Amino acid sequence: MKILYSKPYTLTAVVLLALIAIGQLLRFVLGWHVTVNGVTIPVWLSGLAFVVAGGLALMVWRARAVRGTGPAAADRGGGHSSGGMDRVGGGE
């Protein structure tokens, strides 16, 4: 599988969201107590945060790995064709 035109900041977003998800999962499994300004945050909320952050990381990762979105794919009938405007430098 060849990844075409992936943006470098998406990998940063995936890593950050995955680290947040792992931290939330650890809190959920190990039962760490968190208190913010005198209010105790329920542990079950970390389970929900794990699902949300992990799901976002997975969606960004899958969007990053879209195949066949370059100009060669448009010639084969795959991907999208925007008249070459999605490449750096504009059209032909």
Tens-digit pLDDT profile for residues 50-85: 999 999 999 998 887 765 555 554 544 555 555 555
What integer is the mean pLDDT of 41-48? 96
Q: In this structure, are residues 70 and 79 in contact, taking their beta carbons and an 8 Å threshold?
A: yes
Q: What is the pTM of this model?
A: 0.63
What integer is the mean pLDDT of 33-42? 95
Say whether pLDDT at 9 is over 80. Answer: yes
**In whole angstroms, what is the distance from residue 63 CA to residue 52 CA?**
16
